[in-house]
Amino acid sequence: MSKHIRLLKPYAGKRFDYPAGTVIGVRDSVAAELVKKKAAEYVDDSVRTLRYPPAAPVQAECFSSDEEKDTAPKGAKQIQTLTAPSGDK
């Protein structure tokens, strides 16, 4: 089985680029070379090869549109509050 590694530095493949944090599956020899160069670390083979780590923080600020982003007061945060209705509404 190929080794799954988490990139500590961006990795430029022949055609595709992979940012730091990405988990990729590569040949044993490639994995060993990247780990040796401290450009990656081994992860368990069962870890999904995803672009972002599963525990990546959710972006704190978000805007529903560019217009809203442009008109938002400087420094203001868009906070969405979800409320559960009480009773049958």
Contact between 23 and another protein by CB under 8 A: the answer reads yes
Paired tokens of 30: 């490639």
Which residue stretch of 27-35, 58-66, 69-77, 80-88 sits at the interface with another protein (rule: CB under 8 A)? 27-35
**CA 57-71-63 angle, 5° bins:** 25
Return phi, psi of residue 4, to 5°: -95, 130
Query: CB atoms < 10 A from the CB of 72, how many?
Result: 13
Site string for another protein, 50-69 (x = CB under 8 A): xxx-----------------
Which spans of this chain sit near another protein (rule: CB under 8 A)? 1-3, 13-16, 18, 22-30, 48-52
